[in-house]
Amino acid sequence: MEFELPDGTILHLADAATGADAAAAIGPGLARAALAVRIDGELRDLSRPLPAGNDHRPRLEMLTERGGDDALALVRHDAAHVLAAAVLDTYPGVKIAIGPAIENGFYYDFEFPAGTVVNDDDFPLLEAAMARHIAADERFTREDVPVREALARFRAEDQPYKVELIEDLIANQGARTVSLYTNGPFTDLCRGPHAPSTRRIKAFKLQSVAGSYWRGDSSRTMLTRVYGTAFFSAGDLKAFEELLERARANDHRRLGPQLGLFGFSETAPGSAFWYPAGTEVYNALVELSREMGGERGYTEVKTPILYDRSLWETSGHWQKYREHMFTTESEDRAMAVKPMNCPGHCQLYAMRPHSYRDLPVRYAEPGPLHRNEPSGTLHGLLRVRHFTQDDNHVFCTEDQIQDEVARALRYAFDVYDVFGFETSLELSTRPENRIGSEALWDRSEAALRAALDSQSLAYRVNEGDGAFYGPKIDMHVTDALGRSWQLGTCQLDYNFPERFELTYTGADNAEHRPVMLHIALMGSYERFIGILLEHTGGGLPVWLAPVQAIVLTIADRHAVYGGLARDRLREAGLRAELDDRDESVGRKIRDAELRKIPYMLIVGDREAQRDEVSVRAHGEGDLGATPLREFVERLAQAARTRAAR
């Protein structure tokens, strides 16, 4: 047999040679380091005979610890098997479900015997059991067995989940054999591949336990999922834990109350209370939308919060989302609080006649929305029951779609640029369940593509992921810790104009149906602030900082000049405070640093005499003295231009 190695050389091997043989043939070091072998892109166990390429010479590549995410996924999958083995040791009678590698780790789902509750107190015991399986250097051995044999085996072991999986493999894929992997006393149904032995797991840790539905189906059994992670070195594990620690320090739920921005109360689950400082941030963002949206032709409107049920029947919400709306009644009329602005905007559009000359109509509304989200899904500012979207709705003709989408995309990039986010785009196309003709979908998808292309934007296509009423473009950003968030969306909608019977009079004097675009860039202001806090760790840029500069006096006698300096800042439209407490300068600086105030202005005899301030920037330290007037101008400029810092 012949294989082509990554460097282009040809490897000659005897027939029936295994991956391990290949590694040995390349070199003894590689033979020791190899985890698995990749043939034409497919990973296989080292112990399996290599497949002969019939009509071509297969490419062969050895996977080692340095193989990046693939290597990590492999060893984490190994660790999942070791976890299952450890759980079987510790809890006889446990039923095992599935245990894959996932991003950053692995998990295994179990059904514990009735009455047995497992939580993180049990981790030391389980980790010790795992460590024994690893120290024993158990080999992962693969056998391909007929499905009947596998079924008999798992039935005998009373493992109903494995039986169900095999039955599905037979039914859906016509499987006749399945592969089983054994390490030590434990055998699992598994596609593989695995490393040669458990010893290759150099560092691991169990992380958490959580409930999860069997096969992700909420009507089926709730299993217990144990999460863990594994690495090739203790150092890598430690680095990962430090990253988690950093993410914890940036947790907006911790930062928000700490910085006095917002808080939560049991009296309003899933709804933030905004303190003055948080309200400054919030308002600054709304102001950004007003200013940038206004410049681009999106005009602000205000629509009611509470509507008669008939509006929701027209929009379809009453039938589809009633459980998730807050309802009330008035004089025997059922009413619901709006979960989105679009029906109100459709109503607003419908209340007056429109000529084609008026289009496009672009409504913007920072309208407060309420959605009755299930209690278990609430999460800080990121998933709430009360929030405000930077919502824009454009009513236009079909011919205008491309221009309007392009306009929205430019708007989005302009907004994201202000925050310095990396952005990526996704186009979602027609789903299985949809309304409208094929010709309509062809036209609308083409319009979105044309809009993306007209701006020379790169994007990924998600086939079949669009809304049932139209395709959409989703906008994602990556934060400072490398996490991706979906923020913006631009959705094409033929459904609402139809339901609300919206019309405009065309040049032909006939009535036509407009098309609607739903555009949100930051998404919800609440969620956006959450993301911004996670991204910045709370050190907001000057234009967003609730307090932009704080004047710190050295002694009592500087309070008058300090007050004057603060007033100058305020007169320039800046948010400034004076700290003239009876405390040491060191103390005042420390407090201001902890509040992450961008600039600290220290004033003593020297500054008071020369009309100066000593500037200290957050996280940077002393920048020296500057004339007060000069500093005020500079800071006002930075705030006005929304400079990054």
Partner RNA sequence: GCCGACGUAGCUCAGCUGGUAGAGCACUUCACUCGUAAUGAAGGGGUCCGGGGUUCGAGUCCCCGCGUCGGCUCCA
**Positions that interact with RNA (CB under 7 A):** 117, 119, 208-213, 216-218, 222, 224-225, 227, 253, 257, 264, 266, 269-270, 317, 320-321, 324-325, 339-340, 371-380, 383, 467, 554-557, 582-587, 589-590, 593-594, 600, 602, 604-607, 614, 616, 619, 621-622, 625
Nearer to RNA, 63 or 230 (CB): 230
Nearer to RNA, 427 or 600 (CB): 600
| Residue in 207, 389, 400, 491 annotated catalytic | 389
Please tell me the distance from the alpha carbon of residue 61 to that of residue 94, in angstroms, as a whole number: 39
Give catalytic status of residue 302 as yes or no: no
Nearer to RNA, 297 or 316 (CB): 316
**Interhelix angle for 147-156 vs 160-173, to 10°?**
160
Pick the closest to residue 363 from 396, 391, 389 (CA basis): 391
- Retrieve residue 195's tokens: 């490393």
Nearer to RNA, 43 or 529 (CB): 529
Nearer to RNA, 194 or 371 (CB): 371
Which residues are CB-neighbours of 591 under 8 A, at least 6 positions away?
579
Query: Which alpha helices (DSSP H) does 482-627 contain, by range?
Result: 495-499, 525-536, 559-571, 585-594, 605-610
| Residue in 371, 512, 596, 618 annotated catalytic | 371
| Residue in 81, 95, 385, 393 annotated catalytic | 393
Smallest gap from residue 330 Cβ to RNA (A): 20
- Retrieve residue 599's tokens: 């600039």
Give catalytic status of residue 347 as yes or no: no
Smallest gap from residue 253 Cβ to RNA (A): 5
| Residue in 89, 391, 493, 580 annotated catalytic | 391
Give catalytic status of residue 393 as yes or no: yes
| CA–CA distances in Å: residue 29 to residues 13, 23, 75, 200, 368 | 18, 9, 19, 15, 64
Nearer to RNA, 544 or 608 (CB): 608
Smallest gap from residue 345 Cβ to RNA (A): 13
Nearer to RNA, 288 or 635 (CB): 635
| Residue in 434, 449, 472, 512 annotated catalytic | 472
Give catalytic status of residue 95 as yes or no: no
| Residue in 342, 346, 396, 490 annotated catalytic | 342
Query: Looking at this protein, which amino acid is placed at residue 602?
Result: I
Smallest gap from residue 191 Cβ to RNA (A): 20
Give catalytic status of residue 472 as yes or no: yes
Smallest gap from residue 399 Cβ to RNA (A): 25
Please tell me the distance from the alpha carbon of residue 392 to that of residue 301, in angstroms, as a whole number: 10
Nearer to RNA, 185 or 269 (CB): 269
Please tell me the distance from the alpha carbon of residue 450 to that of residue 453, in angstroms, as a whole number: 5
Give catalytic status of residue 202 as yes or no: no
Smallest gap from residue 545 Cβ to RNA (A): 15
Smallest gap from residue 559 Cβ to RNA (A): 9
DSSP letter at 184?
Answer: T
Which residues are CB-neighbours of 552 under 8 A, at least 6 positions away?
562, 579, 585, 588, 589, 592, 600, 601, 602, 603
- Retrieve residue 548's tokens: 């932009």
Smallest gap from residue 80 Cβ to RNA (A): 15
Query: Looking at this protein, which amino acid is placed at residue 544?
Result: L
Pick the closest to residue 69 from 22, 45, 23, 105 (CA basis): 105
Nearer to RNA, 416 or 496 (CB): 496
Smallest gap from residue 476 Cβ to RNA (A): 14
Which residues are CB-neighbours of 139 under 8 A, at least 6 positions away?
183, 196, 197
Give catalytic status of residue 371 as yes or no: yes
Which residues are CB-neighbours of 605 under 8 A, at least 6 positions away?
554, 558
- Which of left, alpha, beta for 177 (phi over 0: left; psi -120 to 50: alpha)? beta
555, 607 in Cβ contact below 8 A?
no
Whether the link from the prior residue into 28 is cis, omega within 30° of 0, is no
Please tell me the distance from the alpha carbon of residue 543 to that of residue 640, in angstroms, as a whole number: 7
Residues tagged active-site: 342, 371, 389, 391, 393, 472, 518
